[in-house]
Amino acid sequence: MPGVPWAQVAILHLLQALDFAAERHSAQRRKGPDAAPYVNHLIEVATLVANVGQVDDVEVLIAAVLHDVLEDTPTSADEVTERFGERVCRFVRALSDDKALPRKRRREITLEELPEMEALVKVIKLADLSSNIKLLPPNWSEDRKLEYLEWSERAATICSACPGDARGPRSDARRLKPSALWFVRARLPSHCQERARTSARRARTPLLATVRRRALLARATWGRNRSRTCWRRLENHRR
């Protein structure tokens, strides 16, 4: 666009990506209690990348907006490349799972591939984890929630390690680390309490097993000091 300032062009491209994503995800809703439009998640991910990750590369922000378009809609990689460029498509493909595989295998592949991903892809992944963890589906069981939180913290830790990569700044991924891990650690205590209340209502659940679970969860959530306290209670109960 000759004669148009670069910043204005960048904003226009980002708005085009938002419009494209909103149209492609129009039938989707978030799995939270209010079933918000899915585009809210995409906006939040891009906002985290920009505000927390302090990334001002418009192609990275566009990739953040489009990060689920290949995975969750019939959109093809060729279409993304044609509309938004090869670099954006490369980022989006790196962030897309193969839905033909079982969920457990998809998560294993993610953990295997994350260490080799470009640094800026890891920034988007951290923002995606942050957004997802902030609002877990209310119909998930406590076991599934905890399983997802534990997997998310492993993925966030890999992203935050972020080895030197000439294709993207290390500092961006490192800077976003507290946001991703904060959501994990902030959410875990409430899940621990809900799980403990559920266990207490079940007469067949022995106190020993309840305390052991609390100790294990405390070690992951509140640190070693709280965990030692729970283990002392466990030892006292055994006596």
| Residues with a known catalytic role | 71-72
Q: Decide: 73 and 25 in contact? Cβ < 8 Å.
A: yes
**CA distances (Å), 19 to each of 13, 88, 132, 149, 235, in order?**
10, 16, 22, 31, 59
- Cα–Cα distance, 108 to 118 (Å, whole number): 18
- Residue at token pair 């559920």: 198
- Cα–Cα distance, 197 to 54 (Å, whole number): 40
For every residue of 49-63, DSSP letters joined together read: HHHTS----HHHHHH
**CA distances (Å), 95 to each of 38, 61, 121, 167, 207, in order?**
17, 13, 7, 16, 43
